[in-house]
Structure formats: C-alpha cells, structure tokens
Structure 1
Amino acid sequence: MRVLLFLKNECRQSFKILCSLAFILALALSIATAIGQTERMIKSSSAKAAEQFDILVGAKGSRTSLLLSTVYLRDEMMSLTPAVALNVLRGYKGVKWCAPLAFGDRVNESPLVGTTKAFVTLGGARALKTGRVFESRHEAVVGIRSGLKIGETVFPHHGRIAGVGHKHDNGFEVVGILPETGTPWDRAVLVPIETIWAMHAKHQDGEPETLEEWLRLGKFDHLPGFSAIVVKPVSISDAYKIRQGMSSASAMDGRGQSVNLMAIFTGEVLVELYATLDSAMVAFEWFAASSVMISLLAVLITGFILGELRKPQFLQLRTMGAPRGYVMQVVWLLIMSVVLSGVVMGLAGGWGLAQIAAVFISQDTGIAMTPVIGLQELQVGLVTLVLGAIFAILPAVKVGRSQLR
C-alpha cells in the first residue's frame, strides 16, 4: 500500500484542522525567531553606528547620556564641556584628530550640529558624496537623508523638538552632502560651531573673520564650550592613556568654575547597555519558548484526537492486511507535515516580523537595520522539528497498537 497516497487523502479530509495547527505553531515560532533576530539586529546596527566615535569627552555625568546624545543624536540633558578641554587634549601626542560638537537646534526634522571641518571629513578619512566642506559661517553640510539639496537655504529653529522654539534669523546654504552611513547622522545638518555660538549670542565680541581661527591659535579661554568632544586616537594604547587622563582631568569654564571631565569608550558603554537589554530579553525568550512548546502540545493532542476520529479507517486498513508499522507511519507523517509546515512558515514569519520591527526602529532612531535569519533561528527550527518528531511518535504508537475487533 502506498503511504503517501493515503496521507494525501487524509490531509485533504482534515485540511482545515491541519492548517489551523500549522498556523498556530508558525505564529509561536515567528515570535520566537523574531525576538532573536531583532535583538541581534539592534546590537549589530548600534555598534556599527558607533564605529567612528572611539572616545567621547564631556563634562562628568551620565556616560549613557553622553553616548546617546553624541552617537545617536538623542535629546539628552548634558552639562557643557569647557572649551579649555581641547587644550588639555592637545597635550596628548596620541590624538589623531579631535572635534567639538554643539547640539540644541533643529532644521525641520533634522538635528543641527555645530562642529569643525575635522569631524565633517573624519580627519581627512571621509570624502563628501557631493559638494564641499563649509568655508563660511552661513554654509552647511548635510546628511544624505536630511531631505536637503545643494543650493538650498534653510533656517533653523531653537530647541531639539521639531516645530517648537523660535526661528533663527541665520540661514544656511547647503554646500555639501555626506555619504550614507546608516546612522542618525544621515539626517543631521552640520554647520560651523562658531555659528551656533553666534545664534545663541554666546560669542560675538571679537569673533575671528575666518573659521576655526580660535582652534589654530589655541585661544579657548573665552569660548562658551561644547556639548561633547569626539577624539580619534592613534593607537589602542593611546586610547587608554587619553581616557584615563581625561577622566581625571578638569577644566575651567567661562565663569571661572572648575568642571570635572570624563572620557568614555563608546564600545564599553554599549556593552553595558547590551547587558541590560539581555536581561530584559530573557523574559521575552522564555515567553516565546513557552508558546512554541504549547503549540507543539496542541499538535500532539490533535494528533491523538485525529487518531481516534480516523480509528475506523485505520482498523479497516489493518483488516485488509496493512501492518502496524504502516498505520503508525501514516499518523507520524500526518503530524510531521503539520510541524514541518509550521516551522517553514514560522521562520519566514519571524523574518517578516523582524523586518517590520526594523522599519519602525529605523524610522525612530535613524539607524539602518536589516534582519537576517541566522544560525540561532535555524537551531530553533531544528529543535522544534526534533521535538515534533518525538511527540508525533506517541499518537502514532497509540493508533498502531489498537486491537482489531
């Protein structure tokens, strides 16, 4: 007798029930695999976004706030870093380049960032996609996803919330566009930091005519300060020296008060954040694993029920000479067809859910994210198949041992 022919006929008779079971299992497996893909996607994408920020220097405070504000352009409360801190950094020979950053304003939905040419070009390592670096105070370089084009003139608003705060009179002409990085900086508008000071009336008297003259002359005493300083070290050993030295240093601000400084490795703070994320994800993973087990139990119970409902047909096969193994094989394959369909749909559905999560997270954070079905998801699918194969033996044996009457 042909097992597959009988199995095909049985699947046709119980099509709705089997599809419902496969869908339930697929839904549970989708959630389980989507959680893992999303977690891995967030970690890899956020780590990639921080690659260009080896060391961050700021006023002593929250390390996490310094990271989120600088690398991911989140609106965080931070104290100003005295400009004299740049002079302290100049004392280290292991500094390849450093650049100050000033936050606090927006251009439409894009954050406005005051900085220097060194940051725009990453110390000469990055070329613009089109255009050039700003050369005057009323020029800007924008991220590729800012929605702005070369030649446009834009007017910023005070504050880091779009549509809130007064409009500044200082306009900027877009002269350059940065290459895509897959980070929140793709939405940013970069302008000379001198313009940020001028807009907030913090550095008007005796301003130099050319950009960054204060930087070349080393005159930091009367400057208002920065939100943070990005530092690129020459080597790993230099990085540790800079972090240790700057974390124990202090600098005088414009009011003559001493401000303690701190320096952080972005990767180190990210590891701490990932540890917190891992703790939160454990509960979700247990929930997902439980839902998969419950779905498999539902398949098992339904296998018993189908075995009882189809018992007359199976007994008829036995009376026609079919061996016990034939009947057991039919029941086992019937249940495994449900499990296999659920696993395949579950892996595809998990990728789809992770893709949806990637779209929403990318829109909110500006970080490019791409989910990938990895070894972890394949292992989950394989374990589900193995457990399903073991569970399917029970109803198959029960039906196969039924006595002929």
Structure 2
Amino acid sequence: MNVSLFLKNECRQSWKILCSLACVLALALSIATAIGQTERMIKSSSAKAAEQFDILIGAKGSRTSLLLSTVYLRDEMISLTPASTLNILDQYKGVKWSAPLAFGDRVGDNPLVGTTKAFVTLGETRELSQGRVFQKRHEAVVGIRSGLAIGQIVFPHHGRIAGIGHRHENGFKVVGVLPETGTPWDRAVLVPIESIWAMHDKKIAQEPPQLEQWLLQKNVDALPGFSAIVVKPVSISDAYKIRQGLSSATSLDSRGQSVNLMAVFTGEVLVELYATLDSAMVAFEWFAASSVMISLFAVLITGFILGELRRTQFLQLRTMGAPRVYVMQVVWLLIMSVVVTGVVLGLLGGYGLSQLAAQVIGDNTGIAMTPVIGQSEWKVVAATLVLGALFALMPAVKVGRLPLQ
C-alpha cells in the first residue's frame, strides 16, 4: 500500500487542524530563534561600535553613563572633566593619540560634538569619504547619515528638539563627510571644540584660542573642560598603566576646584552590560522554550485525537491486510509533517522578527545591526525535530496497537 496516497488524503481532510498546529509551533519557534539572534546581534554590533574607544577618561561617576554618552552618543548626566587632565595624560608616553569630546547641543536631530582633528582622523589612520577636516572654528565634519552635505550651513541649538531650545547665532559650514561606521557617529556633527567653548563662554568668545594651538602650548588650565577624553594606547601594557594612573588621579578645573578622575576600558564596561543583558535574556529564553514545548504537546495531543477520529479508517486498513507498521507510519508521518512545517516557518519567522528588531534598534540607536542564523538556532531546530519525532511515536504506537475486534 502506498503511504503517501493515504497521507495526502488525510492532509486534505484535516488541513485546517494541521495548519493551525503548524502555525502555533511556528510562532513559538519564531520567538525562540529571534531571541537568540537579537541577543547575539546586539552584543556583536555594540562591541564593534566601541572598537575605536579603547580608553575613556572622565570625571569620577558612573562608568556606564560615560560609555553610553561617549560611544553611543546617548543623553547621559556626566560631570565635566577638567581640561588640565590633558597635562596629566601628557606624562604617559604610551599614548598613540588622544582627543577631548564635548557634548550637549544638537543640529536638528543630530548630536553636535566638539573635538579635535585627532579624533576626526583617528590619529591620521582614517580618511574622509568626502571633503576635508575642519581648519577653521566655524567648519564642521559630519557623519554620512546626518542628512547634511558639503557646503551646507547648519545652526546648532540646545535640547533634543529643534525650534524649542535656544538657537545659536553662529553657524557651521560643512567641509567634510566621515566614512560610514555603522555606529551612532554616522549621524554626528563634529566641530572644533573651541567653537563649543565659545558658544557657552563669553570670555572665550571674545578672545578665542587659535584652532588647537592650546594643545601645542599646553595652555589648558583656564579652559572650560570636556565631557570626556578618548585615548588610543600604543600597547596593552600602556593601556593598563594609563587606566591605573588616571583612575587614582585628580585635576583642577577652571575654578581651581579638585575633581577626581576615572579611566575605563570600554570592553570591561560592555562586559558588565552584557552580564545584565544575559540575566534578562534567561527569562525570555525560558519563556520561549516553554512555548515550544507547549506547542509540541499540543501536536502530540492532536495526534491522539486524530487517531481516535480516524479509528474506523485505520481498523478498515488493518482488516484489509495493512500491517501495524503501515498504520503507525501513516500517523507518525502525519504528525511529523506538522512539526517540519512548523520548524521551517518558525526559522523563517524568527529571522524576520530579528530583522524587524534590527531595524527598530538601529533607528533608535544608530547602530547598524544584521541578524544571522547561528548554531544556537540550528540547535533549537534540531531539538524541536528530535522531540517532535519522539512525541509522534506515542499516538502512532497507540493507533498501531488497536485491536481488530
């Protein structure tokens, strides 16, 4: 007897029930695989975004806030780092390059960042995709996704929403565009840090320092300060020396007050954040696993129900000479068709959900994310198929043992 013919006939008769079960299993499996892909995607993308920020120096406070504000350009409350910190940093020979950063204002929806040429070029290791580095105080270099073009004049403002915060009178002419990084910095507007000081300090506005001359003259004590300092060390040993030295150092701000400093490795702070993420993801993973198991049990129960509903047909087959193995094979294949369909749809659905998550997270953070189906997802698929095959044996064996009388 041809098993496939009987199986096709049974699928036509019970297609509504079978499709419903396959969809339920697919939904549960979609959630399970999407969770793993999204978690891995967030970790890999956020780590890549922090690659150029080896060491962050700031005023003593929250390490996480310093990381989020500097690497991911989030609005965080951080204390001002005295400009005299650069004098302390100059004592270390293992600095490949360093650059101060100043946050606070915006250009439309784009964050405005005051910095130096060293950060724009990453110590002369990065070329601009268009234009050149700023040479004057009212010139700007923008991220490739800022929506701004070379030659355009932009005006910064306070606050996140344009038109609500105070608008500065002095504009900036865009002279360069950074290459794409897949990070929030693709939306940033970079200007000389002297411009940021001048916009907020009347004294500096009247007598502005020449562009980056204060770096060469080491005349920084009277300057307002920075949000943070990015440091690129020469070697790993230099990195640890800088972190240890700056973490126990103090510097004087422009008012002569002592400020405690801290120096952090971005990797260490990310590990702490990932540990928190892992704790939260455990609950989601258990929820997803439970959903898959419940779906498989639903398939199992439906297999028993179908066995009872088709009891007469199976007995007729047995009476006509069909062996027990044939009947068991029909039931097992019927249930496995539901499992396999649910697994395929679930894998595709999980990838689709993770793509949606990547789009939403990317729009909110500016971090480019790409989901990938990895080993963990294939393990979930394999486990589902194995459990489904085992569960399908139970109703198959029961139907095969039906007495002929």
Shorter chain as denominator, the TM-score bin is over 0.9
SS in 2 for 1:91: coil
Structure 1 residues 6-405: aligned runs within 5 Å? 6-201=6-201, 203-208=204-209, 210-405=210-405
Is contact 2:249–2:260 with CA below 8 Å preserved after alignment? yes
Is contact 1:104–1:160 with CA below 8 Å preserved after alignment? no
Is contact 2:58–2:263 with CA below 8 Å preserved after alignment? yes
TM-score using structure 1 length: 0.99
Structure 1 runs not aligned, ≥5 long: none
Provide, for residues 311-355 of structure 1, a one-character-per-residue CA deviation record: whole Å limited to 9, x for no partner: 111111101100000000000000000000000000000000010
SS in 2 for 1:170: coil
Supply the AA of the counterpart residue of 1:50: A
SS in 2 for 1:5: helix
Distance 1:163 1:306, change over 3 A: farther
Distance in 2 of aligned mates of 1:349 and 1:26: 7
Question: Post-superposition shift, 1:281?
Answer: 0.7
Question: Post-superposition shift, 1:357?
Answer: 0.6
Distance in 2 of aligned mates of 1:160 and 1:252: 31
What is the RMSD computed on CA atoms of the aligned residues? 0.8
Distance in 2 of aligned mates of 1:162 and 1:367: 23
Question: Post-superposition shift, 1:161?
Answer: 4.5
Distance in 2 of aligned mates of 1:158 and 1:35: 38
Number of equivalences: 404
Is contact 1:117–1:133 with CA below 8 Å preserved after alignment? yes
Distance in 2 of aligned mates of 1:393 and 1:358: 39
Distance in 2 of aligned mates of 1:46 and 1:164: 31
Is contact 1:75–1:160 with CA below 8 Å preserved after alignment? no
SS in 2 for 1:256: coil
The share of aligned pairs that are identical, in percent, is 80
SS in 1 for 2:261: strand
Provide, for residues 54-83 of structure 1, a one-character-per-residue CA deviation record: whole Å limited to 9, x for no partner: 000000000000000000000000110000
Distance in 1 of aligned mates of 2:108 and 2:306: 62
Is contact 2:198–2:208 with CA below 8 Å preserved after alignment? no
Provide, for residues 108-139 of structure 1, a one-character-per-residue CA deviation record: whole Å limited to 9, x for no partner: 00000000000000000100000000000110
Is contact 1:106–1:158 with CA below 8 Å preserved after alignment? yes
Supply the AA of the counterpart residue of 1:206: E
TM-score using structure 2 length: 0.99
Distance in 2 of aligned mates of 1:131 and 1:314: 78
Distance 1:192 1:179, change over 3 A: same
Question: Post-superposition shift, 1:9?
Answer: 1.1
Distance in 1 of aligned mates of 2:184 and 2:355: 19
SS in 1 for 2:205: coil
Supply the AA of the counterpart residue of 2:314: F
Distance in 1 of aligned mates of 2:281 and 2:267: 20
Is contact 2:144–2:178 with CA below 8 Å preserved after alignment? yes
Distance in 2 of aligned mates of 1:221 and 1:197: 14
SS in 1 for 2:303: helix
Structure 2 runs not aligned, ≥5 long: none
Supply the AA of the counterpart residue of 1:260: N
Question: Post-superposition shift, 1:6?
Answer: 1.0
Distance in 2 of aligned mates of 1:275 and 1:161: 34
Distance in 2 of aligned mates of 1:362 and 1:311: 54
Question: Post-superposition shift, 1:204?
Answer: 3.0
Distance in 1 of aligned mates of 2:208 and 2:23: 69
